[in-house]
Chains A and B, each alone.
Chain A
Amino acid sequence: MSIEIQADVPLVLGSHTFESRLIVGTGKYATYEQMRNCLELSGAEVITVAVRRERLIDADGRNILDFVDLERYTILPNTAGCFSADDAVRVARLGREILEGLENPGADWVKLEVLGDKKTLLPDPVATLEATAQLVAEGFQVLCYTTDDPITARRLQEAGATSVMPAGSPIGSGQGVLNPNNIRICLEYLKGADPDYPVIVDAGVGTASDVSVAMELGCDGVLLNTGIAGAREPHIMSEAMKHACIAGRKAYLAGRIPRKLYATASSPESGTIAGKGGA
């Protein structure tokens, strides 16, 4: 006997459509082989990469792209390490140039990070806004890494961002979603006029339940890297994150019960053989 459950809609990010709502980074793995296996186990269809100087003296001749199936994954280049709008725009263009040459569908988009501070890796909201506007004008679909400040989030959306990606907590900090209330408000503001506008929690995911929390709040996806790469057993964590994302999404679609202060019995109150008792 099969039970029919209404299928979920896919994740739509601008011109891209995906089944998986988990976006996974390619950094910090012990080996390229481990990275490749983790990406596969996570079920991700989108993976992020950074743009960096090529080594002048070749250490071992291997490039990450040798371990990434370009037919399977849509590459999302980031502008990590940029502290100004100008630099972020330069990096975005360079990422696009490489992906165009490789004919990967990720050639038209970028994960925009413009940082304000090395210690916290918090984004510079002013520079992020500036870079968003410029990149949108140059034809990029911009996915903006930002804080969970709803006002900044709204500004980025108004500037034309394809998706706004509020951090759960600082990059690599593993603290999960520290301020679910702000994420709720971000969702309300960003989806008010367009319920399908994609909001993705990006940064700070420490373990599987963090992913579920984000999805249960109503986010459209989660982006993470360190949570998998830094786990004791990254392969196992990749699977955990995959299932957590699905679980959180289904719980959101299912509609949870309300939180109540007092109990409500699950078993019938009448017909019990037990004597009366309790208050």
Chain B
Amino acid sequence: MCNNTGLRRVQISVNGEQLDLPAGTTVARLIETLDMRPKLVAVERNRELIPRAEHKDCVLHENDEVEVVTLVGGG
């Protein structure tokens, strides 16, 4: 599934910032790369929630808009 992707890069928007990532990066890999704690975040790709169980299989594509959120203080 991820053949010959070693050299290709993809531009992905993560939390409003443009990131340059290796092609074939999964959501799980993204969370790891960003040094976030998987249990404390939830992820949307193109405004659609990606359930935790699918993080390791969900491959991100060029121009995907990803939101990685967590819980913070609020009233």
Contacts and interface: CB of A to CB of B under 8 A. Distances in A.
A53 B73 contact: no
B57 to A, nearest CB: 16
B73 A51 contact: no
Contacts of B15: 53-54, 56
Contact of A49 (B37, B39, B67, B72): B72
Contacts of A97: 42, 49, 51-52
Given A25-B75, A26-B74, A225-B75, A58 B69 contact: no
A100 B52 CA distance: 10
A94 B69 contact: yes
Contacts of A25: 73-75
Given A53-B68, A56-B34, A28 B73 contact: yes
B69 A52 contact: yes
B74 A90 contact: no
A95 B74 CA distance: 13
Given A49-B74, A50-B72, A52-B69, 12 more contacts: A26-B73, A26-B74, A27-B74, A49-B71, A54-B36, A63-B70, A95-B71, A98-B69, A101-B39, A203-B75, A223-B75, A224-B75
Interface of B: 14-17, 34-37, 39-42, 44, 47, 49, 51-52, 67-75
